[in-house]
Amino acid sequence: MASLTITPGRPLQGTISVPGDKSITHRAIILTALANGISTVARYCRGEDCLNTMRALQGLGIRIDESDEELCVYGKGLWGLTEPSGPIDCGNSGTGIRLLTGLLAGQDFFTVLSGDESIRRRPMGRIVKPLREMGATIAGRNGGELAPLAVTGSRLRAITYASPVASAQIKSALLLAALFAEGTTRITEPRLSRDHTERLFHFFGIVLQREGTALLIDGRPSVGWNAAPKLVVPGDLSAAAFFIVGATIVPGSDVTIRQVGINPTRAGLLDVMTRMGADIQLFNRCEEAGEPVADIRVRSARLRGVEIGPDLIPQTIDEFPILCVAAAVAEGETIISGAQELRVKESDRIATVSAELRAMGAQVTERPDGMIVRGLGTAKDNGRLQAVRGHSHGDHRVAMSLAIAGLTASAPTSIDEAACIETSFPNFHRTLLELLGECR
Ligand code: S3P
């Protein structure tokens, strides 16, 4: 898919499913590979990011059988990984490369990890520094700040680490390394980032303690953990987010998204959209893989601008591109602050989202740590953006956000370099067409 064209004019209607959660899929693949026995991971995310993590584990000696519905992972226990015959390609995935580096730091073999152009620009020092404190031997460009990373497996020791950034990738890389370290590792973060690793550890019975804001884990457990006969990954709220915003801003829409993860450390979008005036209902609540899940029904509504401050950033971090689309058509101003992490995502999302939405007629001012979006809404309705030729900047979430923005225009919008959508949501366009009533 070189470019994607979106034809507006109809409401979004119907019931859909979205891919399994990308963050949880990465973690499920890693933890089932380290389990004793055969696990199945159902409704996994088939985006390229997670497939790269699957291939990485296969290269590390784990048999994984793949079908459209589930992965069958033949876990070899905590110490079962073996040296790969070549470099590990993590593609576009920050979660993949950072979690795998943590996992591999304490092995007794050598690995090289790299990825695409975007991954080779993203900061790795944030995991390399604490892993080196644990005794890891990691080399990389710019003193270990940038991938490729070369990891010579070492005997690790536990550390106490106060992460300067609320990042689940840092926390999870260290928790995985800590499994192989001697002693009790203690990790704190300035604000709670997504807690999927903690929940999945709990699901597998891996002992992890919380003391106030600190996480404590004893390394080298004498017994490992059992495989999961059926681990079902919840639907990805970050994928659902595009349709939650789309259904809200296109008049006459009514969309239900089945079985989506609503973990509070991820669900900032639901809180922010509700504060903006969205009509969102949750029902059929249940639990999968230790995560809360629900069906989400969204009907169109008029939006107003809100303030989103530092407290809300970690649980909303991946949803800013699409939230800015909502803000751009709302009535009044939306002010986002404390979100400087957006500058080191798949693209610099403050810069790329501001530029693309401005090209569509939105009023956006960039700030070092966020942006101010002056909504185009009128008292009567949500506002409309202009059809343009948009650019994804190689960032899947920017591409999908521009597609949704295009639904409010009065002529077709096309988005260049849309193939990046494959990294997280291969069926995005098809699902959108289904809701627009165009799927035959
Ligand atoms: C993720 C954590 C977040 C998020 C990313 C997925 C994860 O990154 O933006 O898309 O699966 O742990 P940071 O840890 O850098 O905040």
* 390 and 304 within one domain: yes
For residue range 187-234, what is the model confidence (pLDDT) as tens digits? 999 999 999 999 999 999 999 999 988 999 999 998 899 999 999 999
- The atom number, within ligand 1, closest to the CA of 197 reads 12
User: Nearest Cα to 89, choosing from 47, 54, 139?
Assistant: 54
Decide: 98 and 124 in contact? Cβ < 8 Å.
yes
The CATH number that applies at residue 370 is: 3.65.10.10
Which residue's alpha carbon is nearest to atom 16 within ligand 1? 167
* 185 and 169 within one domain: yes
Cα-to-centroid distance, 439 and ligand 1 (Å):
33
* 173 and 262 within one domain: no
Write out the residue range of the structural domain in which residue 207 sits.
22-231
* 256 and 215 within one domain: no
Which residues form the catalytic set?
Answer: 318
Cα-to-centroid distance, 193 and ligand 1 (Å):
8
- The atom number, within ligand 1, closest to the CA of 318 reads 9
* 151 and 162 within one domain: yes
* 102 and 143 within one domain: yes
> Does residue 79 belong to any structural domain of this protein?
yes
pLDDT of residue 16: 98
| Residue that the structure tokens 């903006």 belong to | 276
pLDDT of residue 379: 64
CA distance 383 to 408: 8
Query: Of 196, 231, 266, which residue is a domain's last?
Result: 231
* 53 and 201 within one domain: yes
* 411 and 285 within one domain: yes
Number of domains in the chain: 2
Cα-to-centroid distance, 248 and ligand 1 (Å):
26
pLDDT of residue 439: 74
* 309 and 270 within one domain: yes
Q: How many other CB atoms are there within 10 angstroms of residue 274's CB atom?
A: 13
Beta strands 63-66 and 88-89 are: unpaired
CA distance 70 to 20: 11
* 159 and 126 within one domain: yes
User: Nearest Cα to 331, choosing from 354, 298, 302?
Assistant: 302
Query: Of 200, 231, 262, which residue is a domain's last?
Result: 231
* 397 and 417 within one domain: yes
- The atom number, within ligand 1, closest to the CA of 165 reads 16
Which protein residues touch ligand 1 with a CB less than 6 Å away?
Answer: 23, 94-95, 167-169, 172, 193-194, 317-318, 341
Residue numbers of the chain with a pLDDT score lower than 50: none
Ligand 1, pocket-test mutation among 103, 169, 349, most atoms within 8 A of CB = 169
Ligand 1, pocket-test mutation among 21, 23, 192, 342, most atoms within 8 A of CB = 23
> Does residue 247 belong to any structural domain of this protein?
yes
- The atom number, within ligand 1, closest to the CA of 166 reads 16
Ligand 1, pocket-test mutation among 119, 167, 233, most atoms within 8 A of CB = 167
* 408 and 302 within one domain: yes
Cα-to-centroid distance, 431 and ligand 1 (Å):
24
Query: Of 231, 251, 272, which residue is a domain's last?
Result: 231
For residue range 373-411, what is the model confidence (pLDDT) as tens digits? 999 997 667 889 999 999 999 999 999 999 999 999 999
> Does residue 191 belong to any structural domain of this protein?
yes
> Does residue 440 belong to any structural domain of this protein?
no
